[in-house]
Amino acid sequence: MIELYDETCLECSKLITKKYSTSFSMGIRAFDKRFHYPIYAIYGFVRYADEIVDTFHQHDKAQLIANFRQETAVAIDQKISLNPVLHAFQLVVNKYQIDHQLIEAFLKSMEMDLDQTSYNQKLYEEYIYGSAEVIGLMCLKIFCETDEQLYQDLVPYARKLGAAFQKINFLRDIQADYEERGRTYFPDVDFKKFSSADKAAIEKDIQVDFEEGLKGIRLLPAACRQGVYIAYVYYYELFKKIKATPAATIAQKRIRVSDQQKLWLMAQALVKNKLGSI
């Protein structure tokens, strides 16, 4: 039965999400149940593509990502794949008519990670769009279901929120990206001379993205709003911790929010959403 195969593949994406991200898994549980599998499928797809470029160092990563790209296209076109992650993903892409250009932009950013080690402003914006903003847009397409006008209205806000999350990831991981992968994402920033002024400028940019992203969250359908708001609250708490940490420490230590604190933040977010005080 194809229904059993579909469900099994979607369950694989759910398992991947839970194994890789406690925060994301908790946020997904706050969505209406009909959104759970589709969002798991998006996460499974992007997580495994990211693993290719960040983890599989003993293999030909360029060939692996090229294979992944081709297999993704075939899965979407034929509406089936023996790769459970790609089968789950194609189910969602085809059901919600997700723009293939979003997928192309994402895979291009993953390919940039193979050999791009420093970024000017143009490449920085291109990378953030492909690695983060388009993921938000894929999720937004799911949340808006058949309401194309709502989707178009919320696109700018979803992009800002995705950008904020990615820039925080860059700040949080600035040491690992440089020392383990030789990458510096922020334009005109020398990791060896990472200063308070550099950090403050980046944080100012992130704050603007957050403010715009929150406007969009308030306009989301109720069935998904609280889940996205929980993700916002998690990242904003991490942002506050990073802002309170000196630049020199950020360059030496990964800042994180504890699981216990995440549970407390989730409870607060659920109450705020219920009271309509987001």
Residue 85 has pLDDT above 90, yes or no: yes
Report percent pLDDT > 70 for the chain: 100
Report percent pLDDT > 90 for the chain: 78
Domains, the chain, in order of start with CATH, read 1-115 (no CATH), 118-278 (1.10.600.10)
pLDDT at residue 23 in the model: 75
Q: CB–CB of 250/194 below 8 Å?
A: yes
SS3 118: strand
Q: CB–CB of 230/266 below 8 Å?
A: yes
Instruction: Give the residue-averaged pLDDT of 126-140.
Output: 97
Please give the Cα distance from 167 to 81 (Å, whole number): 33
Please give the Cα distance from 137 to 13 (Å, whole number): 19
Residue 277 has pLDDT above 80, yes or no: no
Please give the Cα distance from 205 to 148 (Å, whole number): 29
pTM score of the predicted model: 0.94
**For 148, which DSSP code?**
H
Taking only the tens place, the pLDDT of each residue in 193-209 is: 899 999 999 999 999 99
pLDDT at residue 253 in the model: 87
Please give the Cα distance from 269 to 231 (Å, whole number): 9
pLDDT at residue 170 in the model: 94
Instruction: Give the residue-averaged pLDDT of 219-237.
Output: 94
| Residues ≥6 apart with Cβ < 8 Å to 267 | none
Neighbours of 264 (CB within 10 A): 12
Region class of 145: left (phi > 0), else alpha (psi between -120 and 50), else beta: left
CA angle 158, 185, 43 (to 5 degrees): 45
Token pair 């860059």 is found at 170
